[in-house]
Amino acid sequence: MRFQSMRVSLLIFALLLAECRGSQIKFGRLDRWAKAGFQYLKLNLCRRVSSLSESECKRLSHLHQSGVAVYVSEPNSEKVLAILPDSYSTGLLASKQGGYAIASVLDDGKRHQDFYLGSTAHDAVLVLDPSPGESFGHPVVLFYIDFNVTKKKCGHRDGIFIGEECLTLALKSRCQNQLKRRQSRSERPGGKGRARRGRGGGGARHAGGAQRRPLRDTLPPLVVGVRDGNRTQRLHCVDHPGFAPCPRLLPMSSPSAPASSCELNKNTRRCHQQPLATHLSCRLYQTCDHAVLLSGGWQEQITFLHHVQSLRLFYRMLRSNGFHKDHIKTFFAGSRQVAEESAEGAYPATEKEAIRNHVSHVCRKEHCADSLVLYLNSPTRNDGTMLLWDGNYNGIADAKERYSVGELLADLAGCRASRVLLFVDQSYSGALAKRLKGSLKHLNVALLVDFPWTEMAEYWGSSDPPRCLIDHLSQDPAAPRLGDSAAALLNVTLAGAPCSATPR
């Protein structure tokens, strides 16, 4: 009996020891990758990326490891693909493209293959975020990791060789956002390192259009196994010692259930949320203040707790300034995230058409809105396009899942509200500012952007109602100087009362 108990104890000890060794190996491997990637980011990135400004390079040279967040995919026997929102799919055969396929299930149950041009499979993916406190998008740096690669082959890829592991900076085409690594000479089209000559010089023009540069995208990609038909996200933020802590994700109490098309404008069984009755927003001869709060989220892994907190702060600020709850519409992330929050007047940001219809209706309807307030807090591409929610979980932002600057301005063009106040609490607001400047269709639109030294929702939430908007801005000596037209639009309270009628 004693012998048997000793055998059990030894077995348990062996299992614990094996698990401990496995954890040490995983930790050591991640530590090598993260530190090698950080050194490359700090010392070599500016040499590879000619588009980086002098100020950006200076910031990178002074970057501390504790200010960089680490995202990594856990390697296993299956290779992975990295898919960015700007990627695109095609039905071409994989053998013609040399890529890997991802199986997906159509609504009718038939299977088909999505092929992502330019994507190649790797053992793991590492993403370093040098600005973890900021909302996406902002530049992040993506590395591919391949096992069992010789030092010579890794060198041909301009990679970092770390003991049979090759860490390679991802490249992308100048034409499409295709994720690539630097190919070795034997892998390049034409073979043996020589480019094929096209007749009449056409080949040279084509090659010039396909130049590649290091990838600095605006948010972490979707990383999936090459045979994973469910497209499960394999990339996750890791609280690694010495690096920045991960942002707090929005807590989820139940497993994720795909709800790729929960219509806001149709009452279907799958949609527990009541449909948005836009036509009831404006009553006859009843001019009110209206607000739209939009926080797309894009994917669960980049939908953080502070996004919800910002929405709540801004919502409370609107209510304290006299906005009726029925006139504040919030569009946030996916159906599951909205259900978790149980926010009043909240809808998932899954139906772009419903969002645009609501904004357009409030704008076009005569005698509907006095002040129309839009609070924008979504992940963005570098052209200012807002990403809503990845409803089909394929990692690619199709036309129904992105809201461009041009589309937003079209919805606000000639708006009949007395004033339109755009609170832009997201990256790349300069694209919107550039389009608004000098536009004769948006003379009543005032743009208010976030300050780098404070959170927008907190800044405006601290305003005591009914306070004059321009007075609140002038309190901060570092606030940007307003033009005459913007100052005239902001010489009121949030609800539109003239500043002369409010105590200063």
End-to-end CA distance of the chain: 87
Instruction: Name which of 466, 375, 390, 485 is nearest 424 in CA terms.
Output: 375
Residue 451 is encoded by which pair of tokens? 């300050």
d(CA 439, CA 420): 14
pLDDT of amino acid 267: 42
pLDDT of amino acid 146: 95
The parts of the chain modelled with pLDDT lower than 70 are 1-25, 88-119, 172-217, 252-281, 283-285, 338-344, 452-453, 477-481, 500-504
pTM for the structure as a whole = 0.78
Chain-centroid distance of CA 37 in Å reads 22
Stated length of the chain: 504
pLDDT of amino acid 188: 36
**Amino acid present at 251:** P
Which residues have CB under 8 Å from 397's CB, separation 6+?
85, 86, 298, 381, 385, 387, 390
In this predicted model, what pLDDT tens digit does every residue of 148-197 receive, in sequence order? Answer: 999 999 999 889 999 889 999 987 644 444 444 444 433 433 343 333 33
pLDDT of amino acid 341: 55
d(CA 103, CA 96): 17
d(CA 102, CA 503): 62
Residues 310, 330: contact at Cβ < 8 Å? no
| Secondary structure (DSSP) of 6-47 | HHHHHHHHHHHHHHHHHHHHHHHHHHHHHHHHHHHHHHTHHH
d(CA 167, CA 34): 10
Residues 423, 374: contact at Cβ < 8 Å? yes
Which residues have CB under 8 Å from 229's CB, separation 6+?
102, 103, 104, 105, 111
In this predicted model, what pLDDT tens digit does every residue of 193-242 receive, in sequence order? Answer: 333 333 333 333 333 333 444 445 678 999 999 998 888 999 999 999 99
Instruction: Name which of 325, 329, 313, 398 is nearest 83 in CA terms.
Output: 398
Residue 279 is encoded by which pair of tokens? 């036509």
d(CA 380, CA 166): 31
Residues 314, 395: contact at Cβ < 8 Å? no
pLDDT of amino acid 7: 56
In the numeric block, the tokens 């058409």 are attached to: 353
pLDDT of amino acid 495: 84
pLDDT of amino acid 185: 37
pLDDT of amino acid 386: 96
| Secondary structure (DSSP) of 320-374 | HTT--GGGEEEEES-HHHHHHHT-TTEE-TT-HHHHHHHHHHHHHSTT-EEEEEE
